Amino acid sequence: MMTQGDEGWPGQSWYESQADASVDESGLASDPLVGERFFDVAIVGGGLAGISTAISLLERGVDSICLLEAERPGSGASGRNGGFVFAGYSLSNDGLIGQVGTDDAAVLHGWTQDTVALIRRRIDRLGIACQANDAGVVLADWFGDDARLQDFSARMGETLGFRLDFLSRERLRQFVDSPRYGAGLFEPGSFHFNPLQHIRGLARTLQQAGVAIHDRTPVRRIERSEGGWTVHCDRGRVRAGEIVLATGGYDQKLRPPVQRALQPIATYIAVTEPLDGRLADLLPRPVAVYDTRFAFDYFRPLPDGRLLWGGRISIADRSPAAIRRLLAGDLSKVFPGLADVRFEHAWGGWMSYARHEMPLLGRCHDGLWYALAFGGHGMATTTLAGEILAEALTGQGERIDCFRRWQPVWAGGLAGRAVVQSRYWWLQARDYWREKRSFRQKR
Ligand SMILES: Cc1cc2nc3c(=O)[nH]c(=O)nc-3n(C[C@H](O)[C@H](O)[C@H](O)COP(=O)(O)OP(=O)(O)OC[C@H]3O[C@@H](n4cnc5c(N)ncnc54)[C@H](O)[C@@H]3O)c2cc1C
């Protein structure tokens, strides 16, 4: 078994199988850093947090930017995820209200709702071909508790101004036809897309505007130097006035005081063989679907007639064969008729979580900016972080101040990982018993 921190992750994603690794169809081509270069801002990490920060800076007139990525833009979680673009944080909506009160929660949640729309607008404005599918996202109820779901939908509307349309069991079948689900909620405005094409499209926009992207350039050391920062790489270095750390769950060594607050958590995806007409019966509308359990399944149709199926969270990564085996069992619980299908691709990726499950967004005492810990709700929140960091870097610090209450608290190292895994088992066991109870009540 591989451990977090090893190079890459075995199992090429379906997204990568579609794209040439060196020069993709978007025309993105970048080289490792060689020699010394000077910029206003250096960004470490070419995931969506880093790339979004660069885009948002560019939109505010800052164009002396260098982005340093250890592998390729989108090689981390941002280019290998489920492709759901929806509002909210990894911390549950009720958890957010509990921590900050209804009014502040509504503001914070509202920013993620606005960001979903921002991502969609940018895709159109920048002409990014990323298979954006506006059919929406559906939350399907695993426990058959219609009243609870209806109550949740009403409460989210009243408290957060977050619209979730209730779908009765019969209505849900018009979106996803599985005997496994009760009722559902439709999240209007949300969408799904090919995350690798999306991030590469954004990177191409940056390059065309003169932003320096150096990939295959792992940053080895960052130090404070006269007038700013020096960023040391294998064959060169960058001097910059400001630095942003956006390394996701893929690094914990560059800046230990911040990064030791991170728990790298794995989740897994597999993609079926083309299913021809069978998929249209199961997903009459091409929505992306997830369910109401803690460790939910998530799935969506792909443009070539395949089903992308994701699920499970754990502190361990797994081989593609193990991912196929686990996810095949999950798939057949929801769609028994697909028990015979083959997964042609299987992979995993690291998300980064802080103990409080909110993003880490702020500045260290020595001036280093960081944008980390987006967990499983990263598409909207990383893009939002890019906007907020760009605001702060151009002198508007109001929104970033709202994230001060979520400081980088030590995640507990190896013992912390064991605690996290135990908590996940406990939450999954709780869901298991809730599921059993709901079956008993139905009988
Ligand atoms: C399998 C999976 C499915 C998911 N599904 C969804 C979903 O459907 N919807 C959703 O909203 N979120 C989803 N997420 C979560 C989301 O993908 C992440 O929260 C988000 O992409 C995090 O972005 P990031 O930029 O912080 O990190 P990353 O995308 O991981 O980027 C960090 C980058 O930093 C680079 N890096 C690390 N160390 C260095 C270094 N020393 N020098 C240079 N570069 C370095 C890495 O190579 C990497 O490219 C999923 C995540 C996974 C893993």
Which of 131, 137, 250 has most ligand 1 atoms within 8 Å of CB, for mutation?
250
Higher pLDDT, 426 or 363: 363
The mean per-residue pLDDT over the stretch 92-120 comes to 97
Q: Is pLDDT of 418 > 90?
A: no
Q: Is pLDDT of 440 > 80?
A: no
Tell me the average pLDDT of the chain. 92
The confidence score (pLDDT) of residue 6 equals 41
Query: In this structure, is residue 3 part of a structural domain?
Result: no
Does the Cβ of 320 fall within 6 Å of ligand 1? Answer: no
256, two tokens: 């230990």
Query: In this structure, is residue 1 part of a structural domain?
Result: no
Shared domain for 89 and 31, answered yes or no, is yes
The mean per-residue pLDDT over the stretch 288-311 comes to 95
5-19, 183-197, 202-216, 327-341: the lowest-pLDDT one: 5-19
Shared domain for 27 and 108, answered yes or no, is yes
The mean per-residue pLDDT over the stretch 84-94 comes to 97
Shared domain for 332 and 364, answered yes or no, is no
The confidence score (pLDDT) of residue 28 equals 67
Query: In this structure, is residue 23 part of a structural domain?
Result: yes
Shared domain for 250 and 198, answered yes or no, is yes
CA-375 nearest atom, ligand 1: 19
pLDDT interval class at 425 (50, 70, 90): confident
Domain count, the chain: 2
Whole-number Å distance, alpha carbon 379 to ligand 1 midpoint, is 9
Q: Kindly report the CATH number assigned to the domain that includes residue 122.
A: 3.50.50.60
For 400-416, how does the pLDDT look when each residue is reduced to its tens digit (9 = 90+)? 999 999 999 888 888 88
Shared domain for 82 and 105, answered yes or no, is yes
Whole-number Å distance, alpha carbon 250 to ligand 1 midpoint, is 8
Shared domain for 311 and 346, answered yes or no, is yes
Does the Cβ of 218 fall within 6 Å of ligand 1? Answer: yes
The confidence score (pLDDT) of residue 240 equals 98
The confidence score (pLDDT) of residue 70 equals 97
Please name the residue whose Cα sits nearest to atom 18 of ligand 1.
378
91-95, 117-121, 288-292, 430-434: the lowest-pLDDT one: 430-434
Whole-number Å distance, alpha carbon 183 to ligand 1 midpoint, is 32
**What is the 3-state secondary structure of the chain?**
CCCCCCCCCCCCCHHHHHCCCCCCCCCCCCCCCCEEEEEEEEEECCCHHHHHHHHHHHHCCCCCEEEECCCCCCCCHHHCCCCEECCCCCCCHHHHHHHHCHHHHHHHHHHHHHHHHHHHHHHHHHCCCCCCECCCEEEECCCCCHHHHHHHHHHHHHHHCCCCEEECHHHHCCCCCCCCCCCEEEECCCEECCHHHHHHHHHHHHHHCCCEEECCCCEEEEEEECCEEEEEECCEEEEEEEEEECCHHHCCCCCHHHHCCCEEEEEEEEEECCCCCHHHHHCCCCCEEEECCCCCCEEEECCCCCEEEEEEEECCCCCHHHHHHHHHHHHHHHCHHHCCCCEEEEEEEEEEECCCCCCEEEECCCCCEEEECCCCCHHHHHHHHHHHHHHHHCCCCHHHHCCCCCCCCCCCHHHHHHHHHHHHHHHHHHHHHHHHHHHHHHC
For 312-367, how does the pLDDT look when each residue is reduced to its tens digit (9 = 90+)? 988 888 899 999 999 999 999 999 999 999 999 999 999 999 999 999 999 999 99
Shared domain for 52 and 181, answered yes or no, is no
Percent of the chain with pLDDT over 70: 94
Query: In this structure, is residue 299 part of a structural domain?
Result: yes
The confidence score (pLDDT) of residue 373 equals 97
Q: Which pTM was predicted?
A: 0.94
The confidence score (pLDDT) of residue 20 equals 58
Shared domain for 179 and 312, answered yes or no, is yes
18-27, 196-205, 355-364: the lowest-pLDDT one: 18-27
Query: In this structure, is residue 314 part of a structural domain?
Result: yes
For 25-72, how does the pLDDT look when each residue is reduced to its tens digit (9 = 90+)? 555 678 999 999 999 999 999 999 999 999 999 999 999 999 999 999
Backbone angles phi, psi at 307, to 5 degrees: -115, 125
Query: In this structure, is residue 37 part of a structural domain?
Result: yes
Shared domain for 97 and 117, answered yes or no, is yes
The confidence score (pLDDT) of residue 398 equals 95
Query: In this structure, is residue 368 part of a structural domain?
Result: yes
For 124-133, how does the pLDDT look when each residue is reduced to its tens digit (9 = 90+)? 999 999 999 9
| Count of Cβ atoms closer than 10 Å to residue 226 Cβ | 7
Q: Is pLDDT of 204 > 50?
A: yes
Query: In this structure, is residue 2 part of a structural domain?
Result: no
The mean per-residue pLDDT over the stretch 72-99 comes to 96
Q: Is pLDDT of 11 > 90?
A: no
Which of 351, 360, 368, 377 has most ligand 1 atoms within 8 Å of CB, for mutation?
351
7-16, 104-113, 167-176: the lowest-pLDDT one: 7-16
The mean per-residue pLDDT over the stretch 222-241 comes to 96
Q: Is pLDDT of 441 > 50?
A: yes
CA-352 nearest atom, ligand 1: 19
CA-82 nearest atom, ligand 1: 8
Q: Is pLDDT of 443 > 60?
A: no
Shared domain for 204 and 216, answered yes or no, is yes
Q: Kindly report the CATH number assigned to the domain that includes residue 427.
A: 3.30.9.10
The confidence score (pLDDT) of residue 245 equals 98
Q: Residue 319's domain spans which residues?
A: 137-188+264-350+416-443
Shared domain for 216 and 88, answered yes or no, is yes
Which of 28, 193, 234, 379 has most ligand 1 atoms within 8 Å of CB, for mutation?
379
Shared domain for 258 and 270, answered yes or no, is no
The mean per-residue pLDDT over the stretch 280-303 comes to 95
Per the DSSP assignment, residues forming a β-bridge with 236 are 35
